[in-house]
Amino acid sequence: MKLTAAELAYVRAQGLYITEKCDGCGRLLNQSVRYTVTGKPEVYCSAACRDFAFFEDRREAKKQASPRRCVYCGAGLNGKKRDAIYCDAKCRMRANRAEQSALPAKVEKSRTATQSNQGVIEAKNAG
């Protein structure tokens, strides 16, 4: 996808000659490395981004990226079901934990009174 005028001006101010960004995630594209799908005009920054856009399902994209190999450790999947993507429960749990740790932590709201709502609490108690 082509950069907008504002994005292009910013990139030029940084001294870079980049004109496109990834159609999947929006990252700036390196001019020498590009990933595409045959017959489609979209351009992607990585094979994983392209596979996710093509299959529209993260599980299917992982499975297609490494056929008959565990997506966590790379071991063979001989003797497993055809749609298996992990070699055993340990790899599945490790992959899930790694994915959870990569996600931003949820911010827990405080249950104590703050200065902004202290006036409301005092008004309720007084009334």
pLDDT of residue 120: 60
**C-alpha closest to that of 25 among 5, 9, 46:** 46
pLDDT tens digit sequence for 28-84: 887 777 888 888 888 888 888 888 887 777 777 777 766 788 888 989 888 888 888
- Is pLDDT at 115 greater than 60 in this prediction? no
pTM strictly above 0.85: no
Going from the C-alpha of 100 to that of each of 25, 29, 43, 87, the distances in angstroms are 20, 27, 28, 20
Phi-psi region at 57: left, alpha or beta (left = phi > 0; alpha = psi -120 to 50):
beta
- Predicted confidence (pLDDT) per residue in 85-109, tens digit: 889 999 999 988 888 887 666 666 6
**Strand-pair partners of 28:** 21
Give the H/E segment covering residue 102: helix 89-102
The pLDDT of residue 121 is above 70: no
Position 56 scores a pLDDT of 73
* CA–CA–CA angle 111, 116, 121 (5° rounding): 65
User: If you search the block for the tokens 């749990």, which residue do you land on?
Assistant: 93
Residue 122, sorted as left (phi over 0), alpha (psi -120 to 50) or beta, turns out to be: alpha
Residue 94: what pLDDT?
Answer: 92
The residues spanned by each domain of the chain are 1-65, 68-104
pLDDT of residue 116: 56
